[in-house]
């Protein structure tokens, strides 16, 4: 059962980049993002209501929830969709693979984690490999649509890493689904 769930997750997540790229050939990124948000809210809202998963949110947590909602939807998703309209799905998926790297850097900057030498070496090797794959081993044109799309995706990755790090305490306190529903 676990293997089937993992395979489904990989298929949906990996296929999402290709699906979004195809959809963005037909739709404006902002319009597409609006409909994705409505459909997602409907699905998540149904899960929360049916499962009665809506927790009582402490008043002190609402500012962080509003900040996370801002980072997750308008910042991350709009930048991602505009970037996706300009780049290739393979670049977006590889760049999103670096989310953990930037989450680690932000966690370290905020004093939540320590970056040890072997992690730094692994990060450097993986980022060099990413750069070689994305640039195809050649120089790149900073004025090209592809480069602009990659930089937008990179900005969305930074937003998602921020969302991940800043949301961790809320997920621990309220659970993953209720926390996502409140954002």
How wide is the angle at C-alpha 82 spanned by C-alphas 78 and 83, nearest 5°? 110
The number of beta carbons lying within 10 Å of the beta carbon of residue 66 is 12
Tell me what the mean pLDDT of segment 128-133 comes to.
85
Residue with tokens 């500012």: 63
Q: What pLDDT shows up at residue 78?
A: 94
CA 146 to chain centre: 19
Contact present, 177 and 44 (Cβ < 8 Å)? yes
pLDDT category, 171, cuts 50, 70, 90? confident
Q: What pLDDT shows up at residue 20?
A: 92
Taking only the tens place, the pLDDT of each residue in 112-129 is 988 899 988 988 988 888
Taking only the tens place, the pLDDT of each residue in 22-39 is 999 999 999 999 999 999
d(CA 161, CA 104): 8
Residue with tokens 């969709």: 81
């Amino acid at each position: 059962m676990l293997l089937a769930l993992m395979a489904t997750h990989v298929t949906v997540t990996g296929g999402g980049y290709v699906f979004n790229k195809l959809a963005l050939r037909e739709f404006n990124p902002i319009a597409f993002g609006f409909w994705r948000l409505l459909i997602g809210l409907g699905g998540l809202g149904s899960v929360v209501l049916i499962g009665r998963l809506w927790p009582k949110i402490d008043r002190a947590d609402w500012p962080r929830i509003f900040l996370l909602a801002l980072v997750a939807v308008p910042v991350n998703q709009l930048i991602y969709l505009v970037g996706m309209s300009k780049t290739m799905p393979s670049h977006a998926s590889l760049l999103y693979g670096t989310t953990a790297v930037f989450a680690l850097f932000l966690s370290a900057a905020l004093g939540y984690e320590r970056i040890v030498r072997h992690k730094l070496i692994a990060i450097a090797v993986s980022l060099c490999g990413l750069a070689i794959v994305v640039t195809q081993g050649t120089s790149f044109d900073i004025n090209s649509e592809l480069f602009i799309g990659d930089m937008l995706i990179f900005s969305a990755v930074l937003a998602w890493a921020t969302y991940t790090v800043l949301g961790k305490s809320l997920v621990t306190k309220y659970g993953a689904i209720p926390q996502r529903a409140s954002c």
